[in-house]
């Protein structure tokens, strides 16, 4: 007979418990869930990337509505349980729904701790626990004003980083002398503070909050020494407490949390508890790994396995702030009964500390270089005697045994029971065994079957190395495909060899790289032409016969064989003279359709091929250049009217858009490049779905990139905030040049960014000023030799190049 299982709470722990239970006993229970939040189960670990703009909520959903329907689970969204009747064995929600149970699981999580100071009830004071809190912070961040985060622990720093990414002026107040003092020693805390401050976030330690001040809303935070920090938003992130009140009211034993045994059973044998609300062995937990262990044990008991037992293990701490690498584990306090090994590299920002007791690792703190964290964790867990490797231990696994190992060999040397994914407690053997047994070939497959790297993602590199070790040459994370039938080489290898071998003509490339055909094809010739133009701008002569017909005639071919012509209008701005010139061309050549484009220009459609030279001649006399509506290059920079005209405008978006377009036009890129500049967060120019976009805010210019609004729909990633137009231009140009140098031909910028990694792009363009400047200067250099339209000297003074609109049909035209 089917039993009735009711679950209070729908967080990550009960969600994982249900996965285990459905696998072990799929037909045993009729499941009903009451969730206080009005939504499905999602990955709370990834709320920080949602706040920073790196992810959307849809990307962190664990179980969508379809999952509950598939498994016949009833989910009450937005229902908070107000009573548990243990005699009648029912629960009742605040909406009046009462459900009976045979087994009940209480997974109510935790509640934020609010420091008891005046002003915490003022509008503008928020906590940071769930998606509602994140949405409230995102709404508050639209003001681009001042935020104060109280608390310098994990959540506080992640909240501060996210709010900074959203354009706010952020100050972190922390009562202790160093940040994250529970997870880091003072030396690592110092390095962390420097890294946080380098991001433009103010940090005040030894800051004791006295009150939150304001008249009807938050206006500031007053410290014990009388200092007042101005603020329009205050985020409390000083800790959490188990949410045990519903169990306490029902007469279930509670202490700090809901007291459970090592089988996750409460004082009522028909009621279990797990997650942040549960207290097992006198401890409550806030990190996901022990919560998932609770889920495994609870599911086993519900399925009838009475032997399952919760086992405590230390869980590594990692900060989810892009570009800050830290790892801590175990006991790293000072003491007479222990010794330490420390490695500092000030230039590289690296700090490593191992705490030893009786020649065994008991604590680890890593900052800046965390790759050996899994190995140190394994040594600690197994209580390995490290006497024989004492002198080289701090250098990591690769330096044990006499000579350095490469990273792959170091991973291969890990034992099968070495933990790879701390969040989900997945060991090396489970990953490699699943790859072999289930024939897994992709990272997504491994995540689906083992959960490794499916939570915070920090172990993804290790998982990919294990896949490479297990699958050998058959595994290639980038799934390299040959450019075309003419070669076995992929785009990345061709481009690398062009530079390495100094190949500067298409025939030279084909000869040296052993092309299978005499002259290439419609796929490879345009790609080779682009790579040579980009890599050798001062030496390679653009081969027009290797370009698509659209690029050769400066017009878009239409389905009836006629063409459309789009003159460039800088930033979407035009004049009566330009409009008259367009009207004259339309009348003279009897152009049948004139249409305003989505890029704020005018498109003339239905032009005969033989008329194109004359059409462009007349437009050129009026000062027009091509809008490159056909180009694998910069097409448009869409703008709104900005601060000159709009009452909401914060900056001169039109002027910046025109400046960007005039600076960058004529540059070829791997695929089409569309930009936009919006004068305020209302985003009238739709900058958040473009390849590169700018949102003007009071404090400067927020740079976005990697959006899409075509076959794929994707919002942009936030690169960062800069203060001036000059900085904005330099960042955008450097970003474009990085894409030009690394992108594969016809690969849009959002696909390139996914392949390369948002964090790596941000590191090179925003965090490394020298690298950014180098990219910028290479772009400027290449522009001196850009081959553009024959009348371009009217605008830019560039050299005239031969215009060949009627060249004979070439390789690329066949592809059109």
Whether the CB-CB separation of 71 and 22 falls below 8 Å is answered with yes
Whether 640 has a binding-site annotation, put simply, is: yes
Q: Is 736 helix (H, G, I), strand (E, B) or coil?
A: helix
Whether 646 has a binding-site annotation, put simply, is: yes
Q: Give 484-515 as a DSSP string.
A: STT-S--HHHHHHHHHHHT--SHHHHHHHTT-
d(CA 218, CA 78): 28
The alpha carbon dihedral of 422, 425, 428, 434 has a sign of negative
Going through 199-243 in order, the beta strands assigned E by DSSP cover 202-205, 209-213, 220-223, 228-230, 233-236, 240-242
How far does CA 508 lie from the centroid of its chain? 40
Q: Give 398-450 as a DSSP string.
A: GGTTSSPPPHHHHHHTS-TT-EEETTTTEEHHHHHHHHHHHT--SHHHHHHHH
**Type and span of the H or E element at 271:** strand 271-273
The alpha carbon dihedral of 288, 199, 695, 710 has a sign of negative
In the block, which residue shows the tokens 């004003």?
Answer: 145
According to DSSP, residue 600 is labeled S
Q: Is 565 helix (H, G, I), strand (E, B) or coil?
A: strand
According to DSSP, residue 465 is labeled H
**784 C-beta neighbours (distance < 10 Å), count:** 10
d(CA 684, CA 707): 16
The alpha carbon dihedral of 778, 779, 781, 787 has a sign of positive
d(CA 460, CA 455): 10
Residues 6+ apart with CB under 8 A from 332: 185, 353, 355, 362, 363, 364, 365
Going through 113-167 in order, the beta strands assigned E by DSSP cover 125-127, 146-150
Burial code (b: 16+ CB inside 10 Å, e: under 16) for 678-711 equals bbbbebbbbbbbbbbbbbbbebbbbbbbbbbeee
Pairing relationship of beta strands 700-705 and 717-722 according to DSSP bridges: antiparallel
Q: Give 32-91 as a DSSP string.
A: EEEESSSS-EE-GGGHHHHHHTSS-GGGGEEE-HHHHHHTT-EEEET--EEEEETTTTEE
Whether the CB-CB separation of 573 and 567 falls below 8 Å is answered with no
Whether 684 has a binding-site annotation, put simply, is: yes
d(CA 625, CA 617): 10
d(CA 76, CA 36): 8
Q: Binding site: what residues are annotated? A: 640, 646, 680, 684
Q: Binding site for [4Fe-4S] cluster: what residues are annotated? A: 640, 646, 680, 684
Q: Binding site for siroheme: what residues are annotated? A: 684
């Amino acid at each position: 007979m089917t039993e009735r299982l009711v679950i209070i709470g729908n967080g990550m722990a009960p969600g994982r418990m249900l996965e285990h239970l459905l696998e072990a006993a799929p037909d045993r229970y009729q499941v009903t869930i009451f969730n206080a939040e009005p939504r499905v189960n999602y990955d709370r670990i990834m709320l920080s990337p949602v706040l920073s703009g790196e992810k959307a909520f849809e990307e962190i959903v664990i179980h969508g509505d379809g999952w509950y329907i598939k498994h016949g689970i009833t989910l009450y969204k937005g229902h908070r349980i107000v009573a548990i009747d243990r005699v009648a064995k029912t629960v009742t929600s605040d909406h009046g729904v009462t459900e009976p149970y045979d087994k009940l699981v209480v997974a109510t999580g935790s509640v934020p701790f609010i420091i008891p100071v005046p002003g915490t009830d003022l509008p503008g004071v928020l906590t940071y626990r769930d998606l509602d809190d994140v949405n409230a912070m995102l709404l508050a961040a639209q003001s681009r004003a001042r935020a104060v985060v109280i608390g310098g622990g994990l959540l506080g720093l992640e909240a501060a980083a996210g709010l900074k990414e959203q354009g706010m002026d952020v100050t972190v107040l922390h009562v202790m002398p160093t940040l994250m003092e529970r997870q880091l020693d003072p030396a690592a805390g110092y390095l962390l503070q420097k890294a946080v401050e380098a991001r433009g976030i103010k940090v005040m330690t030894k800051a004791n909050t006295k009150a939150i001040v304001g008249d009807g809303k938050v206006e500031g935070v007053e410290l014990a020494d009388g200092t007042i920090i101005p603020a329009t938003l205050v985020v409390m992130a000083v800790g959490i407490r188990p949410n045990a009140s519903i169990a306490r009211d029902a007469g279930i034993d509670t202490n700090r949390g809901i007291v459970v045994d090592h089988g996750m059973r409460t004082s009522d044998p028909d009621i279990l508890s797990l997650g942040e609300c549960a207290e097992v062995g006198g401890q409550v937990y806030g990190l996901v790994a022990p919560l998932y262990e609770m889920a495994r044990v609870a599911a086993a008991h519900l399925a009838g396995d009475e032997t399952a037992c919760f086992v405590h293990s230390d869980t590594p701490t990692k900060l989810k702030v892009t570009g800050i690498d830290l790892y801590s584990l175990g006991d790293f306090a000072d003491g007479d009964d222990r010794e330490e090994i420390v490695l500092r590299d000030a230039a590289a920002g690296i700090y490593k500390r191992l705490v030893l007791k009786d020649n065994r690792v008991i604590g680890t703190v890593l900052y800046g270089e965390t790759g050996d964290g899994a190995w140190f964790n394994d040594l600690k867990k197994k209580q390995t005697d490290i006497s024989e490797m004492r002198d080289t231990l701090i250098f990591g696994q690769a330096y044990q045994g006499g000579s350095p190992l490469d990273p792959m060999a170091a991973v291969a040397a890990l034992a099968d029971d070495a933990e790879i994914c701390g969040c989900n407690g997945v060991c090396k053997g489970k990953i490699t065994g699943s790859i072999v047994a289930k024939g897994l070939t992709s990272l997504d497959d491994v995540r689906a079957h083992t959960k490794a790297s499916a939570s915070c993602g920090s172990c993804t590199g290790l998982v990919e190395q294990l896949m490479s070790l297990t699958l050998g040459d058959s595994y290639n994370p980038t799934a390299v495909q040959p450019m075309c039938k003419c070669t076995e080489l992929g785009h990345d290898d061709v481009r690398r060899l062009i530079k390495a071998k100094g190949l500067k003509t298409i025939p030279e490339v084909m000869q040296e790289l052993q092309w299978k055909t005499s002259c290439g094809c419609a796929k490879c010739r345009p790609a080779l032409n682009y790579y040579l133009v980009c890599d050798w701008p001062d030496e390679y002569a653009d081969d027009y016969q290797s370009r698509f017909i659209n690029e050769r005639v400066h017009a878009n071919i239409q389905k009836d064989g006629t063409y459309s012509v789009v003159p460039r209008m800088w930033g979407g701005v035009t004049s009566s003279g330009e409009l008259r010139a367009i009207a004259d061309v339309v009348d003279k050549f009897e152009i049948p359709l004139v249409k305003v484009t989505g890029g704020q220009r005018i498109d003339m459609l239905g032009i005969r091929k033989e008329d194109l030279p004359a059409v462009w001649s007349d437009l050129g006399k009026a000062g027009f250049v091509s809008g490159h509506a056909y180009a694998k290059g910069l097409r448009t920079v869409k703008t709104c009217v900005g601060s000159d005209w709009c009452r909401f405008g914060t900056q001169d978006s039109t002027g910046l858009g025109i400046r960007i377009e005039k600076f960058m036009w004529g540059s070829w890129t791997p695929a089409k490049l569309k930009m936009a500049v919006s004068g305020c967060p209302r985003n009238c120019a739709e900058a958040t779905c473009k390849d590169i976009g700018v949102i003007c805010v009071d404090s400067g210019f927020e740079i976005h990139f990697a959006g899409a609004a075509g076959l794929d729909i994707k919002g942009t990633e936030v690169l960062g905030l800069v203060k001036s137009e000059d900085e904005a231009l330099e960042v955008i140009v450097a970003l474009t040049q990085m894409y030009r140098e690394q992108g594969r031909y016809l690969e849009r910028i959002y696909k390139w960014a996914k392949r390369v990694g948002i964090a790596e792009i941000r590191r090179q363009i925003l965090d490394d000023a020298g690298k950014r400047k180098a990219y910028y200067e290479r772009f400027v250099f290449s522009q001196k030799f850009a081959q553009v339209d024959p009348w371009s000297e009217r605008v830019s003074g560039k050299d005239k190049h031969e215009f060949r609109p009627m060249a004979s049909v070439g390789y690329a035209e066949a592809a059109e």
